[in-house]
């Protein structure tokens, strides 16, 4: 999505807690890809993003109100890796 104010490409996610416990934190690695699905060569590594201090109930959604700046306007696709999910015990 293009941010009309900053003219940068942003990512907005809508995720759902499908587990059996509340989610407290989610760490993501977001790999920026071009239109062909190739990693954009001018950037080393993924964007690291953390949803922290959240309290997501089972079957509830989160992330839809946060915009992640991808840092490069040639991004057309992303690959997302969940690197860590912390649950409330």
Give pLDDT, residue 27. Answer: 98
CA distances, 13 to each of 10, 41, 42, 50, 89 (Å)? 10, 24, 24, 12, 25
Kindly provide the b/e burial profile for residues 11-41, where b requires at least 16 CB atoms within 10 angstroms of the residue's own CB: bebebebeeeebbbebebebbbbeeeeeebe
Domain ranges of the chain: 10-87
Instruction: Round to whole Å and give the CA distance between 61 and 49.
Output: 17
What would the mean pLDDT of 12-40 be, rounded to a whole number?
Answer: 95
Average per-residue pLDDT for the chain:
92
pTM above 0.75, yes or no: yes
Q: What are the pLDDT digits (tens) for 47-86?
A: 999 999 999 999 999 999 999 999 888 899 999 999 999 9
Q: Bridge partners of 39?
A: 33
């Amino acid at each position: 999505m293009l941010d009309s104010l900053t003219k940068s490409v942003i990512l907005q996610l809508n995720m759902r807690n499908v587990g059996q416990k509340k989610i407290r934190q989610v760490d993501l690695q977001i790999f920026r890809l071009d239109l062909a699905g190739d990693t954009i060569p001018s950037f080393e590594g993924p964007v690291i993003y953390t949803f922290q201090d959240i309290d997501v109930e089972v079957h509830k959604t989160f992330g839809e109100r946060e915009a992640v700046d991808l840092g490069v306007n040639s991004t057309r696709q992303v690959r997302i890796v969940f690197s860590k999910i912390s649950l409330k015990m």
